[in-house]
Amino acid sequence: MTQDAQDEVDRLVAAWRAERPDLDVEPLQVLSRVSRLAKHLDRARRAAFAEHGLEPWEFDVLTALRRAGKPYELSPGALLRATLVTSGTMTNRIDRLAQAGLVVRRPDPEDRRGVLVSLTPAGLDRVDAAFAGLLRREHELLAGLGAEDQRALAGLLRTLLAPFDS
């Protein structure tokens, strides 16, 4: 789309300006586009994960373990912090991933009461393939922007998100 072409958000903003000229609808210019893009990204993510037999939550846990580096293991507490879920939810997720043969639990040699969750070879293969598939789809979503525009957009979004991440 060229700079002069209109998208659905332009039409939405124009309609709101006509109906509610008393309101500043300018935030819609950015946030409605972010919201629409998030929906496309969610569809792309789900499709990439489904190609590899994974649900989004499975991908989140497996990638947290993968990012930890060899031996690809974390405590359940570290997984909680990485995925922002409750302990009960994490226990259920670990159980389900273990039943699927994607992770194993083992005693923590540093803490007799603790356990570590590790990727199995099957889990490592699955998460690596799903991650590569996700990146292919994300590259497709960004194909309309050159590298410089992608970096600029990333910087602007970082600035916008920073207060929420602290």
Looking at every residue in the chain, the average pLDDT score rounds to: 93
Mean pLDDT of 3-28: 92
Of the pLDDT bands very low, low, confident and very high (cuts 50, 70, 90), residue 75 is very high
pLDDT at 41: 94
Of the pLDDT bands very low, low, confident and very high (cuts 50, 70, 90), residue 128 is very high
Domain covering 36-140: architecture: Orthogonal Bundle (1.10)
pLDDT over 90 for what percent of the chain?
A: 86
Mean pLDDT is lowest, of 22-26, 82-86, 128-132, 137-141, for 82-86
The string of DSSP letters for the chain reads --TTS--HHHHHHHHHHHH-TTS--THHHHHHHHHHHHHHHHHHHHHHHHTTT--HHHHHHHHHHHHT-TTTEE-HHHHHHHHT--HHHHHHHHHHHHHTTSEEEEEETTEEEEEEEEE-HHHHHHHHHHHHHHHHHHHHHTTTS-HHHHHHHHHHHHHHHHHHH-
Mean pLDDT of 96-105: 97
pLDDT surpasses 70 at 1: no
What are the residue boundaries of the structural domains of the chain, listed by start? Answer: 36-140
Mean pLDDT of 84-96: 92
pLDDT at 3: 62
